Structure 1
Amino acid sequence: MTSEYSAHHLQVLEGLEAVRKRPGMYIGSTDSRGLMHCLWEIIDNSVDEALAGHGSRIDIVLHADGSVEVRDRARGIPVDVEPRTGLTGVEVVFTKLHAGGKFGGGSYAASGGLHGVGASVVNALSERLDVEVDRGGKTYAMSFHRGEPGLFAGSGPDSPFTPFERSSELRVVGKAPRGVTGTRIRYWADRQIFTKDAAFGHDELVQRVRQTAFLVPGLEIVVLDERADEHVETSYRFDGGISEFADFLAPDAAVTDTWRLTGTGTFTETVPVLQAGGSMVPTEVQRECEVDIAVRWGTGYDTTTRSFVNIIATPKGGTHQQGFEQGLMKVLRAQVEQNARKLKVGNDKIEKDDLLAGLTAVLTVRLPEPQFEGQTKEVLGTPAVRQIVASVVQKELAARFASVRRDDKTQTAQLLEKIVSEMKARISARTHKETQRRKNALESSSLPSKLVDCRSNDVDNSELFIVEGNSALGTARDARNSEYQALLPIRGKILNTQKASISDMLSNAECASIIQVIGAGSGRSFDLSAARYGKIILMSDADVDGAHIRTLLLTLFFRYMRPLVEAGRVFAAVPPLHRVIVMNPGSKPNETIYTYSEQELHALLARLKKANKRWQEPIQRYKGLGEMDADQLATTTMDRAGRTLRRVQVKDMEGAAQVFDLLMGSEVAPRREFIVDSSDRLARESIDV
């Protein structure tokens, strides 16, 4: 370091030197993410050709030697000489930054490429890159070493390399069949640039290939992974486009069909246009923006949105997504206001989160020369797109609500009901959240009066017993440890929340009490950290009705308070079924033994009989919690020293959701079929024991 600073300290990076010096500026990072970005720069060039109507298949090969190859049957990179540079089109594309056919020259109406740096950046960051082009009945080839054109003496990146000294040569290496054109690019990433653990992820590649196939209907993309002993080939082609994409992404059952909202809009912008003499002249040009959106609403409350500009994903949104949400809000808020009396809305207003609940949307716009924030193209910045998308959404969605078709009227009515239910759930959750802090019996005016709370404020050590019936509550009140055990009685069987709407669930006294007492909200707004108790214990009778009540409670927890189940904080108490008093001879006190199943009882009696011990008859059989004395309930079911709890766990979330829908959902036929098919595997004694 020196204090001197003059012009000779400045560096001018020529050509591709800047890319190798600061690769993160062009590809984001030098780990696996940046490596995959390089691959997609090459693939997107072939996809842009398919988008322009040239070529219907792209092959991607992950070779065993760490290289990757992309092949297409499009027009092929130009092989003639570009007049300004005196270089062939192939060399211009791979060695010159900001050079290409996507600057408004008429080759592409809309493309993912924008800055003209993709292929040249990949070349600069490759230890070796080979390109072959089929055009005009000939096959042309050229090779590069870290961006410099030349000749390799062998087939790998370690082969001796001789750079061109005076002039470059685009070699003719063979003949191409008549009428066949296309490009093949194979490259080896430069390990001087990328981290040692950077690798092409097969799953990530396949996921994005599938996404691209959805976005370009009719395009087939084949991935061949040759890195393992057993080669893996995957192929995708979707003729249904983004409608199929939305159905694929949707995580829940449908409330509406997949609706397509399409339209176009024009706007003008002033851009510098390169003139023949080399000067840049500001020119006002008219652009056309095509909008194509697929939307569906489902029964869940998660939002799945994917947005794209010219098939390039914009994960951080931009003006097109802002316009989409603006259009949705304007139309749906107007529809709710028009049907306010029917929907019982009152003076409440829907918010964005209410209408996004359960929404699956694929948003695509196509326009020439879009403005992005950076080379990674994660955010669209073209201002005029916002209003165009909003206008298309408003027009198409309003037409759907105005339709007189029976299916449309049914689905739009169901959608409005869902949105209003989400609004009411949000308002109710906010009310619950305001009262979620622990309060003792003296200051708790907002909690249900039937709650018998504990004294401790230590959430991790506290327990809430949800008890079946007031009769069991009386016994449990005397049996509990009031320091850390709270009791909430429920009256009989609660609402089946799998079939009921959110508004019905919130209006049900028992469900509302449970949600309010736990204090963490419900659904999308559920906050696990705000739960008032460390353990939630379901304590019901050991009979068929008790099992049904426990199932109804688990349905409520799984659907509206699922993080509690995922965290392993929901338990089922295991009360005993029998009380056996073993009579001891003399003055020795009798012994009390509890059993928890018929098999355990028979095994116990057999042991006592073998030991010549007698027991009191009749043996007490507990049909309900209320039949126990407080000390018996404490010893067997509530006292931590001797009780048994069953933790409720979900190892397969999707499978559990399907089972809840089968057993507790509104579809009767599948449930009846399940019961009939499974009836021979279950005896009544295994339930009512």
Structure 2
Amino acid sequence: MSGEPTAYDASTIKILEGPDIVRKRPGMYIGSTGERGLHHLVHELAEPALEENLDGHARRVEITLTPEGSVRVADDGRGIPVEQDGRPTTLEARLTQLWYGGRPFDRQSLSVGHFWVGPAIVNALSIRLTAEVRRDGFHWVQEYERGIALAPPVRTGPTDRTGTTITFRPDPEIFETLDFSFAMLADRFRELAFLNRRLDITLTDERDPAAPASRHFRFPGGLADHLAHPDLIAFERECPEMQGTVEVALHWSDSPDERVTGYANSRPTPGGGTHELGLRDGLAAALPGYSPDRACPGLTAIVSVKLDEPVFEGSIRDRLGNGPVRACVARAVEEHLTAWLDADPDRAAAVLARIAGAR
């Protein structure tokens, strides 16, 4: 080796603080700086509002794509606390500190954003963010630029409403595209609504005044509302052994195709896992003479579990690993499918004929 040795002392160490931590390597926090990461900002910002709705504190959540290229997320919940006692306000801490103020990760968590870092990530990667809070009879406003507060929260006047509205515009210096896909966002929020029957979500696209679009997502019947079919088998059940609940909806058709979709704490699990294995075990147990693979042709099914302590496996954490889930889901599917078939022999014969014909 030749040349002078490289110095290694305090002068060579660069300490990143505040939003620079995120802005230096955004992919670590949102997955990418392309379309996927852009939409992740919406999901991350929407999660607290949706959980406010899910907990019964807000009646609805409204998400709007504005003509200026911003996204506005509004709820009519309690409003983020705004306290000024010489320390950063609760609002400012929520918008500048990663993982601040998040609820415990349990069966009620939505896992919308998948990274669970909170609204601070959105603020750091936005060229502009405006937070409005209606709480305790007052309306508060605070402005940010690239994650830095421009001023403390300002009380702008009285109000008889409550809730939080946050509007952000992604930073063009960070993202490869600024074009939000209404269809992709609609698919995810529709998915969340049928997985969580108490959610009430409206997604509106105002970017083209000549062709505005709006979708309202609310499924009080849960999976049964989403997977409507004359011979639908659907149920929800508490399973103490796995510390959670399981909801299943399924039916068979004449098609040979199999469509099984799994979710854990509202998070898609394309890698499968113990909940999907339990579904197949339960089907085989309820259908004498059919192994798990022979019972699934023609099947359309959704299995959703909500656990107090979910364990995600795989390099991208897309597979559920909780061991007790398999036996709990299998037992629930076997019992409910058996009762459904026993209640109507003619209907049972038709289902078995579909399965046999789909092979």
TM-score range, shorter chain: 0.7 to 0.9
> Which range is displaced more, 368-377 or 53-62?
368-377
Q: Distance in 2 between matches of 1:188 and 1:246?
A: 36
Once the 2 structures are TM-superposed, how far is the Cα of residue 377 of structure 1 from its aligned partner? 6.2
Q: Distance in 2 between matches of 1:319 and 1:48?
A: 26
Work out whether residues 107 and 265 of structure 2, in 8 Å CA contact, stay in contact via their aligned partners in 1.
no
**Could you say if the C-alpha distance between residues 336 and 202 of structure 1 is closer, same or farther in structure 2, counting changes exceeding 3 Å?**
same
Q: State the match for 1:170 in structure 2.
A: 153
Work out whether residues 264 and 392 of structure 1, in 8 Å CA contact, stay in contact via their aligned partners in 2.
no
Once the 2 structures are TM-superposed, how far is the Cα of residue 47 of structure 1 from its aligned partner? 1.6
Alignment of 1:350-365 (within 5 A): 350-352=291-293, 354-365=294-305
Q: Distance in 1 between matches of 2:29 and 2:316?
A: 7
Higher relative contact order (CA 8 A, sep 6+): 2
Q: State the match for 1:111 in structure 2.
A: 109
Q: State the match for 1:289 in structure 2.
A: 244
Once the 2 structures are TM-superposed, how far is the Cα of residue 185 of structure 1 from its aligned partner? 0.8
Q: State the match for 1:95 in structure 2.
A: 96
Work out whether residues 244 and 306 of structure 2, in 8 Å CA contact, stay in contact via their aligned partners in 1.
yes
The answer to whether structure 1 residue 415 and structure 2 residue 334 are counterparts is: no
Work out whether residues 95 and 123 of structure 2, in 8 Å CA contact, stay in contact via their aligned partners in 1.
yes
Q: Distance in 1 between matches of 2:141 and 2:110?
A: 25
Alignment of 1:346-495 (within 5 A): 350-352=291-293, 354-372=294-312, 378-401=318-341, 403=342, 405-406=343-344, 409-422=345-358, 425=359
Q: State the match for 1:210 in structure 2.
A: 190
**SS, match of residue 68 in structure 2:** coil
Once the 2 structures are TM-superposed, how far is the Cα of residue 210 of structure 1 from its aligned partner? 2.4
What is the CA deviation profile of residues 157-200 of structure 1, one whole-angstrom value per residue up to 9, with x for unaligned ones? xxxxxxxxxxxx232222221xx3211010000111100x3410
Q: Distance in 1 between matches of 2:314 and 2:130?
A: 28
Structure having the higher Rg = 1
Work out whether residues 62 and 225 of structure 1, in 8 Å CA contact, stay in contact via their aligned partners in 2.
yes
Alignment of 1:507-526 (within 5 A): none
**SS, match of residue 249 in structure 2:** strand
Once the 2 structures are TM-superposed, how far is the Cα of residue 376 of structure 1 from its aligned partner? 7.7
Q: Percent identity?
A: 35
Work out whether residues 227 and 249 of structure 2, in 8 Å CA contact, stay in contact via their aligned partners in 1.
yes
What is the CA deviation profile of residues 36-68 of structure 1, one whole-angstrom value per residue up to 9, with x for unaligned ones? 111111222222222222222221111111101
Equivalent residue for 1:336, pick from 263, 281, 289: 289
**Could you say if the C-alpha distance between residues 88 and 288 of structure 1 is closer, same or farther in structure 2, counting changes exceeding 3 Å?**
farther
Work out whether residues 107 and 244 of structure 2, in 8 Å CA contact, stay in contact via their aligned partners in 1.
no
Give the structure with the higher percent helix: 1
Once the 2 structures are TM-superposed, how far is the Cα of residue 258 of structure 1 from its aligned partner? 1.2
Q: State the match for 2:209 in structure 1.
A: 229
Work out whether residues 77 and 183 of structure 1, in 8 Å CA contact, stay in contact via their aligned partners in 2.
yes
Equivalent residue for 1:312, pick from 267, 275, 296: 267
- Amino acid in structure 1 at the alignment position of 2:351: L
In the alignment of these two chains, the number of paired residues is 353
Work out whether residues 69 and 178 of structure 2, in 8 Å CA contact, stay in contact via their aligned partners in 1.
no
Q: State the match for 2:67 in structure 1.
A: 64
Unmatched runs of 5 consecutive residues or more in structure 1: 152-168, 248-253, 268-286, 338-349, 426-689
**SS, match of residue 355 in structure 1:** coil
What is the CA deviation profile of residues 264-301 of structure 1, one whole-angstrom value per residue up to 9, with x for unaligned ones? 2235xxxxxxxxxxxxxxxxxxx730111111111112
Work out whether residues 80 and 89 of structure 1, in 8 Å CA contact, stay in contact via their aligned partners in 2.
yes
RMSD over aligned CA atoms reads 2.9
Work out whether residues 132 and 140 of structure 1, in 8 Å CA contact, stay in contact via their aligned partners in 2.
yes
Once the 2 structures are TM-superposed, how far is the Cα of residue 32 of structure 1 from its aligned partner? 1.2
The answer to whether structure 1 residue 25 and structure 2 residue 25 are counterparts is: no
Q: Distance in 1 between matches of 2:174 and 2:8?
A: 30
The answer to whether structure 1 residue 53 and structure 2 residue 48 are counterparts is: no
**SS, match of residue 349 in structure 2:** helix
TM-score, with normalisation over the residues of structure 2? 0.86
Q: Distance in 1 between matches of 2:347 and 2:333?
A: 17
Alignment of 1:56-205 (within 5 A): 56-80=59-83, 86-103=87-104, 110-113=108-111, 116-151=116-151, 169-177=152-160, 180-195=161-176, 197-205=177-185
Work out whether residues 261 and 396 of structure 1, in 8 Å CA contact, stay in contact via their aligned partners in 2.
yes
Q: Distance in 1 between matches of 2:129 and 2:303?
A: 35
Q: Distance in 2 between matches of 1:120 and 1:297?
A: 45
Q: Distance in 2 between matches of 1:88 and 1:95?
A: 10
Q: State the match for 1:261 in structure 2.
A: 235
Once the 2 structures are TM-superposed, how far is the Cα of residue 130 of structure 1 from its aligned partner? 0.9
- Amino acid in structure 2 at the alignment position of 1:102: R
- Amino acid in structure 2 at the alignment position of 1:45: P
Q: Distance in 2 between matches of 1:4 and 1:391?
A: 64
Alignment of 1:523-562 (within 5 A): none
Q: Distance in 2 between matches of 1:139 and 1:57?
A: 19
Q: Distance in 2 between matches of 1:121 and 1:34?
A: 11
TM-score, with normalisation over the residues of structure 1? 0.47
**SS, match of residue 386 in structure 1:** helix
Q: Distance in 2 between matches of 1:391 and 1:214?
A: 24
Once the 2 structures are TM-superposed, how far is the Cα of residue 373 of structure 1 from its aligned partner? 5.2
**Could you say if the C-alpha distance between residues 73 and 393 of structure 1 is closer, same or farther in structure 2, counting changes exceeding 3 Å?**
same
**Could you say if the C-alpha distance between residues 322 and 92 of structure 1 is closer, same or farther in structure 2, counting changes exceeding 3 Å?**
farther
Once the 2 structures are TM-superposed, how far is the Cα of residue 259 of structure 1 from its aligned partner? 0.9
Once the 2 structures are TM-superposed, how far is the Cα of residue 351 of structure 1 from its aligned partner? 4.7
Q: State the match for 2:221 in structure 1.
A: 240
Once the 2 structures are TM-superposed, how far is the Cα of residue 222 of structure 1 from its aligned partner? 1.9
Q: Distance in 2 between matches of 1:319 and 1:93?
A: 35
Once the 2 structures are TM-superposed, how far is the Cα of residue 145 of structure 1 from its aligned partner? 1.5
Unmatched runs of 5 consecutive residues or more in structure 2: none
Q: State the match for 1:579 in structure 2.
A: none
